[in-house]
Chains A and B, each alone.
Chain A
């Protein structure tokens, strides 16, 4: 089984995020880059599928130079190889452009499964996996809380508001995972050493055969008109419980017409 895992480098969620004043894109330099947390679960799931059977895991990322750290991290967890799409022309790409670029990189490589996290913690759109499935014309099995692979058949439990749906498809398929699916492993020292020798292919937009006119900020299908940092909320009232804390809240809720 040939598995690809799409991982994204994002600003550390503990860092304060802001938009750049010049082009309204996310200021990526001002915060440390880490692997999108949900993508760690996707890497873990890919490794488990391969460990339970056989196969190979390739990490695919699109992002600036330093996103290669994120590829290395996935390799040190145990993935076999990496593909890093890096090109200045990609700066400012939105979800449509990102999905187009990823689809171009992924197609023709014979992957049976393409795993994703279900959401990037910076863009928070949760649309790239569905868009890639649409572009590649393969089955979409997303928001998986459980994945079962048996031969060419793949079954997932799709997490929903009310519980879950069981969804089935034949490979090739796009799968995105939610965080309760597993517990991602930490890279071992041996894994970190081994990762240094694993192959990472660095490719440009031209190498991947991506049409320049559909990517980057200039091609964006939507544009930020303006943005503003919201003023912090005025401080509210805080009281210490002296045996009547619950009553005090009830009085507040009543004044606000909630009760």
Chain B
């Protein structure tokens, strides 16, 4: 079986959950081979990759690689595509992942499919478009398929891989060094799971009323060990930071559980959460369109319902 390259997503040397999901998707297509680009590969990361099926781990860990944005990753992958002729390259479908995929597609003259939610053994990708209202099957018809896969779409699978390490040395071209990263600013994070990766998301909208109102949303999220999301009305009002916006012009999330509080369910918001497996709604307006998506909904004031729910969850889980 030929190799399927998986670009590893890491944060401070820790492998992110989406990479383990991608390794499971890769196993359907061929032999999973992880590609590590960035800081030195640590033992924890290597064993996480191997225990989720990575037969090979390509390691490109020159210090220089992390000084530049996007382009070096595409260059390392292009080099491996030329050398190893993989049957596909899988990358996480997030902002940077899609850009790496795009540059790689240009470099190796291959087709690219973004936001896949499922992959079949023959390389057919399933995409869910227009806010989940349409399911599309597509296939790359030219070159090495480059596919970005959405977080939370494929379940990670524990499966022992050999995890054989092979170092890759790539001397970056001048073109890959044009945009230099000179600083990294980490906003407050507060230990919650990353929004796009979280299996539970609790969101607040205009109904939350003020920045302070998000306290009840955060408390519910924490009781469920979930992430916090917001509608654009809430982020535009400055009640919650912009990077937590869910929707057409924000993040697309597809968690196991999405709890929408004080959100009306405008088409642009739905575009970012409609494919959530289970949807719970709290809204005081029984006519709010978000109720059309609800598996379970309560017509009521979120400031009464949400704290009671949090308390009940805390009671039941202790």
Contacts and interface: CB of A to CB of B under 8 A. Distances in A.
Do A and B associate with each other?
Answer: yes
Interface of A: 13-14, 16-19, 24, 37-38, 94-96, 99, 118-119, 121, 124-131, 133-135, 137-143, 145, 155, 157-170, 173, 178-180, 220-230, 232-233, 235-241, 243-250, 252-254, 256, 258-259
Contacts of B138: 222-225
Given A224-B138, A245-B308, A259-B316, A96 B112 contact: yes
Given A130-B99, A222-B139, 9 more contacts: A95-B105, A157-B185, A163-B186, A165-B184, A173-B178, A180-B242, A223-B139, A228-B134, A249-B282
Interface in B276-318: 278-282, 286, 291-301, 304-313, 316-317
B243 A230 contact: no
Nearest to A240: B299
Contact of A250 (B139, B256, B312): B312
Interface string B158-201: 00000000000000000100111111111101000011100010
Interface stretch (B34-42, B43-51, B66-74): B66-74
Contact of A221 (B69, B135, B143): B143
Given A134-B74, A224-B138, A141 B182 contact: no
The residue among B178, B224, B307 with the most chain A CB atoms within 10 A of its own CB is B178
Contact of B297 (A139, A168, A236, A246): A236
A92 B280 CA distance: 38
B112 A222 contact: yes
Interface string B113-139: 111000000001000111011111111
B10 interface: no
How big is the B interface, by class?
35 or more
Contact of A249 (B11, B112, B195, B305): B305
Contacts of B292: 232-233, 235
A252 B296 contact: yes
B243 A134 contact: no
A119 B124 CA distance: 24
Nearest to A254: B316
Contacts of A99: 102, 106
Contacts of A221: 105, 110-112, 140-143
A254 B280 CA distance: 13
Interface of B: 11, 69-71, 74, 94-96, 98-103, 105-107, 110-115, 124, 128-130, 132-143, 145, 175, 178-187, 189, 194-196, 200, 224, 242-243, 248-249, 256-257, 267-268, 278-282, 286, 291-301, 304-313, 316-317
5 contacts: A96-B106, A130-B99, A134-B107, A166-B182, A258-B256
Nearest to B11: A162
Nearest 9 interchain pairs by C-beta: A241-B300, A246-B308, A221-B111, A127-B102, A246-B309, A166-B183, A139-B178, A163-B187, A250-B312
Contacts of B256: 258
Contacts of A94: 111
A31 to B, nearest CB: 11
A256 B98 contact: no
A222 B309 contact: no
A241 B298 contact: yes
A13 B297 contact: no
Nearest to A125: B114
Contacts of A170: 178
A103 to B, nearest CB: 9
Contacts of B70: 130, 140, 142
Contacts of B11: 162
